[in-house]
A and B are shown apart, each in its own frame.
Chain A
Amino acid sequence: MKSVIFKTTAHIVIGIMLLFSLYLLFRGHNEPGGGFIGALIAVIAFALLIFSESPHYVRKRIGLSPGMIALTGVGLSLGSGFFAAFSGKAYLTGLWCKTVLTLGTPLLFDVGVYLAVIGGVLSILLDLAEELL
């Protein structure tokens, strides 16, 4: 499976996929996309890398442990709700700031979903790949 052609194309394609996954994440609020879909694309990209290189290579390149990424994501989503809670609204109410860009706590929440899903699924994928491949 370690053909040079596969390896080289994989590296190129992965870059595009990761970029695309970020694009989907950020446009999600208005166009088809969003944190969950973006995360799945990112995981598939990493899966490609697992097949073309090795699980160990992927772990090394990511640097952070997938579990940490997942926990950061859940923490981010959990935390995004407190902005509303501390300004006297119900927990997780969306707050928006529209001076320059339309930015709001739901985006933060979606980034949390993105990281949690990447971390969670990638963790299973890597463990399984190390066990089986």
Chain B
Amino acid sequence: MGLSVALHLFLLIGLWVLYSPSGVGWHWDWVPSLGASFSIRLDGLSMLFSWLICGIGLFVQLYAFHYMKGKPLSGLFHVYLTLFMLAMLGLVLAGNLLLLFIFWELTTVTSYLLIGFNHDQEVSRKNALQAMLVTGAGGLALLAGLILLGQMAGTWEMDQIINRGATFISDKRFAPALILILIGAFTKSAQVPFHFWLPGAMSAPAPVSAFLHSATMVKGGIYLLARLAPVFSQSDLWFWSLALTGGITAVWTVIVALQQRDLKLMLAYSTNVALGKLVFLLALGTRYAISAALMFIIAHALYKAALFMVIGTVDKATGTRNIDQVAGLGRILKFSFLAAGLSAFSKAGIPPLPGFLSKEYMYKAALQISYAPTILLVFVNALMGAMALLVVIRPFISKPDARTVPASPVEKYSFLWIPPVCLGILQLLATTLGLQWLNTTLIIPAGQVIAPNAGYESLKLWQGLNLPLALSGVSLLFAFLLFKYHTWIKRFIDRTTRLLPAGSQCYEQIVNGIIRSGSALTSILQHGRLTGYIFMLFFLMALVFLFNMPALPMPDTVNWQGIRFYEVLLALGLAAAVFTVLLSRSRLLAIVSLGVAGFITTLFLMFYNAPDVAKTQLLVETLSVIFLVMIVGRLPKFSDVLPHSFGKRILNTAIAVTIGAGVFRVLYAMSTGHPDTTLIDYFAANSLIAAHGRNIVNVILVDFRAIDTLGEITVVVMAALGASAILLKKKRTDR
């Protein structure tokens, strides 16, 4: 705990020392042959995100210190939280597309650990898996999109890609790349129709929600969109897909959010709303829109983290998060009340808090475009405001009634209230004393990364009486009215939305479908009949031979003189052994004959001067005879087994003949043709000089191709493990 706090402070200060608004970068080679390098880029946009990640991370760690105290594995929790923070930091600092993707996936994996932290609860495990599958699937799409983008640019370095970005639009890979990257970003940032995983992730402990929903995870998608905006933003596809997705997400989830009774779920859906608004603002792409988006990222991170912490404290004090069961907490949780109040005011957009400022610029940006986006934003903001009031007024101010659960004074643990109060005060400072600093160090440099030529001006709190201010007032008024009549509105929403399908149900059906078809496929392929497996193997082999037969040379003349008498004898012996196997009525005779065939093959290898191969063949034959003798007593007699049907026999014969002919022609081609001897020459020349061995076969095995051998012995061990698993299972079931 102390260590992770020190790490956060170190990172905060380190980033501050290294940062300059014009951007700095470092570069190390990693896998040069793939063009993957470990390059770090610290410019305005990265700085804004990485400071939020470290700063909020610090408060979350402090908060978690008391929140998780006494719970099992709380130390591990801090480790996961720190790992997740580092992955997220890597994501926003990566200067290489491949590196960015790796960190992207790391955030998915570490967030899985965090969301599923209460792993003794089934719902928690299920939701963690859901979050990972949805964002992981999006990650796959993102990878494909990034590869297309890298191919268009011919490099993985983001600096170069963005510099050349304007030329890609005529490329035919432009649209697929854009769509795939958008899928990745939308799943991560929980846009409709992928939004459902985010409320599901609520089963995590409160500090995780505070972190995931404010500065990290879900902002990953927003960061990616902002980062790649210079490449894609000129296309119509970008504008429409972002505007529509963002708009629909904001409107739909704000409606769903008002339906909820669980305080934490309300906040979760309101995160969806915020993300929708951010995507919408990025679509607009004007300087006001981008200033508003950046300001909103800061505002949202601060107030959402604080609110989640407060809800966590409420949960701890009362044991419930149901909005109908908590009331009058203002007197017991004084500091939490202060933090919640400041944060909710920011969320509702009351001056001079950051939420108000971002809303001003939102309206400014929307008014520049047309009335449609303005109305959408007013609607969404009014509902958001109503929700903010609900979250604060109901639990803290309203009078307790019969349903209210009594609260215990948990604020004696100082870490439960210090972090949210600090975040609240930071919000107050951000737009009053710190506004000029924010403008010059973060918002304007970050804006120039997103849209380089927009010509930014500093954000100002007071801009005179104008339409945006009026709209702010209007949305606040609406918010108050909605809050006043919210029970009536909730009933109305409940009635109208009942018939719509929920995203999580669709997800469940898809996952169940995949599992069902998987087990169906397995039962077809893994039927457990050995003869079936062998048949399938040889059948496919015969097919391969059949299709490649014309390419192999046909023997035209036979050199009878070259054949020696013992070769003829051995060949006859081999044929006799094989026919004995086929015709014998006793299993033991068949096994012995099979062994004889193997030993004769060994003799052939001896004649062809391959002692190592011959020895190996001999030993393997011996061992297989040992194994077969061991099991022969357990097998039914040949006469007890029903013979194959006539058609099956014909098919088997055809397969056997095809394989025999194919092998013959391959062997013939090998022994008569002129194979490429580069490798043979190389090994023969270097075996003694470079590898100090005269036995070329062994030198190849243990030196030249040692890594292959390593793989092979691993397979041997795996096979042994598999065999003992099967036998062990049998032993257990016998008992």
A124's partner among B695, B723, B728 (CB-CB below 8 A) is B723
Docked complex Cα distance between A35 and B713 (Å): 11
Docked complex Cα distance between A41 and B619 (Å): 7
Docked complex Cα distance between A117 and B620 (Å): 12
Known: A109-B706, A127-B727. A36 touches B717 (CB 8 A): no
Which residues of B have CB within 8 Å of A129? 630
A32's partner among B615, B623, B634, B724 (CB-CB below 8 A) is B615
Docked complex Cα distance between A56 and B51 (Å): 65
A47 at the interface (CB under 8 A from B): yes
Smallest Cβ-Cβ distance to B626: which chain A residue: A47
Docked complex Cα distance between A74 and B731 (Å): 28
Q: How many A-B residue pairs have CB under 8 A?
A: 149
Smallest Cβ-Cβ distance to A71: which chain B residue: B717
B702 at the interface (CB under 8 A from A): yes
Q: How large is the interface on B (under 10, 10 to 19, 20 to 34, 35 or more residues)?
A: 35 or more
Which residues of A have CB within 8 Å of B615? 32-33, 37
A29, B699: Cβ atoms closer than 8 Å? yes
A128, B623: Cβ atoms closer than 8 Å? no
The B interface, classified by DSSP as helix, strand, loop or mixed, is: helix
Which residues of A have CB within 8 Å of B716? 70, 116-117, 120-121
Which residues of A have CB within 8 Å of B731? 131
A120, B630: Cβ atoms closer than 8 Å? no
Smallest Cβ-Cβ distance to B714: which chain A residue: A74
A99 at the interface (CB under 8 A from B): no
B727's partner among A66, A71, A91, A131 (CB-CB below 8 A) is A131
Known: A37-B616, A106-B702, A106-B703. A67 touches B693 (CB 8 A): no
Docked complex Cα distance between A44 and B691 (Å): 30
Smallest Cβ-Cβ distance to B620: which chain A residue: A40
Known: A29-B699, A33-B695. A44 touches B631 (CB 8 A): no
Smallest Cβ-Cβ distance to B726: which chain A residue: A127
A22 at the interface (CB under 8 A from B): no
Chain B, range 685-727, C-beta contacts under 8 Å to A: 691-695, 697-699, 701-703, 706-707, 709-710, 713-714, 716-717, 719-721, 723-724, 727
Smallest Cβ-Cβ distance to A118: which chain B residue: B716
B692's partner among A40, A44, A104, A112 (CB-CB below 8 A) is A104
B727, A116: Cβ atoms closer than 8 Å? no
B702, A35: Cβ atoms closer than 8 Å? yes
Known: A47-B623, A116-B716. A123 touches B702 (CB 8 A): no
Docked complex Cα distance between A40 and B621 (Å): 10
B730 at the interface (CB under 8 A from A): yes
B710, A77: Cβ atoms closer than 8 Å? yes
B713, A112: Cβ atoms closer than 8 Å? yes
Which residues of A have CB within 8 Å of B724? 67, 123-124, 127
A18 at the interface (CB under 8 A from B): no
B693, A128: Cβ atoms closer than 8 Å? no
Q: How large is the interface on A (under 10, 10 to 19, 20 to 34, 35 or more residues)?
A: 35 or more
A121, B695: Cβ atoms closer than 8 Å? no
A74, B717: Cβ atoms closer than 8 Å? yes
Docked complex Cα distance between A116 and B480 (Å): 75
Smallest Cβ-Cβ distance to A47: which chain B residue: B626
A131, B730: Cβ atoms closer than 8 Å? yes
Docked complex Cα distance between A124 and B616 (Å): 19
A125's partner among B627, B695, B713 (CB-CB below 8 A) is B627
A116, B695: Cβ atoms closer than 8 Å? no
A34, B619: Cβ atoms closer than 8 Å? no
Docked complex Cα distance between A36 and B623 (Å): 13
Which residues of A have CB within 8 Å of B634? 132
Docked complex Cα distance between A80 and B719 (Å): 23
Which residues of A have CB within 8 Å of B698? 28-29, 33-34, 110
Chain A, range 95-133, C-beta contacts under 8 Å to B: 96, 98, 102, 104, 106-107, 109-110, 112-113, 116-117, 119-121, 123-125, 127-129, 131-133
A43 at the interface (CB under 8 A from B): yes
A128, B713: Cβ atoms closer than 8 Å? no
B612 at the interface (CB under 8 A from A): yes
Smallest Cβ-Cβ distance to A21: which chain B residue: B619
A92 at the interface (CB under 8 A from B): yes
Docked complex Cα distance between A111 and B716 (Å): 15
B616-641 Cβ-contact flags toward A at 8 Å (1 or 0): 10011011001100110110000000
Known: A77-B709, A96-B692, A132-B634. A67 touches B721 (CB 8 A): yes
B726 CB to nearest chain A CB (Å): 9
B717, A109: Cβ atoms closer than 8 Å? no
Known: A73-B713, A120-B716. A32 touches B723 (CB 8 A): no
B170 CB to nearest chain A CB (Å): 43
Which residues of A have CB within 8 Å of B713? 73-74, 77, 112-113, 116-117, 120
Which residues of A have CB within 8 Å of B518? none
A30 at the interface (CB under 8 A from B): yes
Considering residues B616, B623, B631, B731, which has the most beta carbons from chain A within 10 angstroms of its beta carbon? B623
A14 at the interface (CB under 8 A from B): no
B452 at the interface (CB under 8 A from A): no
B664-699 Cβ-contact flags toward A at 8 Å (1 or 0): 000000000000000000000000000111110111
Docked complex Cα distance between A31 and B612 (Å): 9
Which residues of B have CB within 8 Å of A31? 694-695
Which residues of B have CB within 8 Å of A107? 702
A58 at the interface (CB under 8 A from B): no
Known: A32-B612, A32-B615, A106-B702. A120 touches B727 (CB 8 A): no
B561 CB to nearest chain A CB (Å): 31
A113, B702: Cβ atoms closer than 8 Å? yes
Which residues of A have CB within 8 Å of B622? 40, 44
B176 at the interface (CB under 8 A from A): no
Docked complex Cα distance between A78 and B724 (Å): 23
Docked complex Cα distance between A43 and B721 (Å): 17
Which residues of A have CB within 8 Å of B707? 81, 91-92
Which residues of A have CB within 8 Å of B620? 40
A106's partner among B694, B706, B714, B720 (CB-CB below 8 A) is B706
Docked complex Cα distance between A116 and B63 (Å): 51
A117 CB to nearest chain B CB (Å): 6
B584 CB to nearest chain A CB (Å): 22
B29 CB to nearest chain A CB (Å): 16
Chain A, range 57-81, C-beta contacts under 8 Å to B: 66-67, 70-71, 73-74, 77-78, 81
Known: A106-B702, A109-B706, A124-B723. A32 touches B631 (CB 8 A): no
A20 CB to nearest chain B CB (Å): 12
Docked complex Cα distance between A98 and B692 (Å): 10
A40's partner among B623, B627, B710 (CB-CB below 8 A) is B623
Docked complex Cα distance between A100 and B595 (Å): 45
Smallest Cβ-Cβ distance to A115: which chain B residue: B713
Pairs A–B under 8 Å by Cβ, sample size 6: A32-B615, A40-B623, A44-B619, A47-B626, A109-B706, A110-B702
Known A-B contacts: A73-B713, A109-B702. Give 7 more (CB < 8 A). Answer: A33-B695, A47-B626, A77-B709, A92-B706, A117-B716, A120-B717, A131-B727
For the complex of A and B, the 10 pairs showing the least CB-CB separation, nearest first, are A40-B619, A120-B720, A120-B716, A29-B693, A116-B713, A32-B611, A123-B720, A34-B698, A30-B694, A106-B702
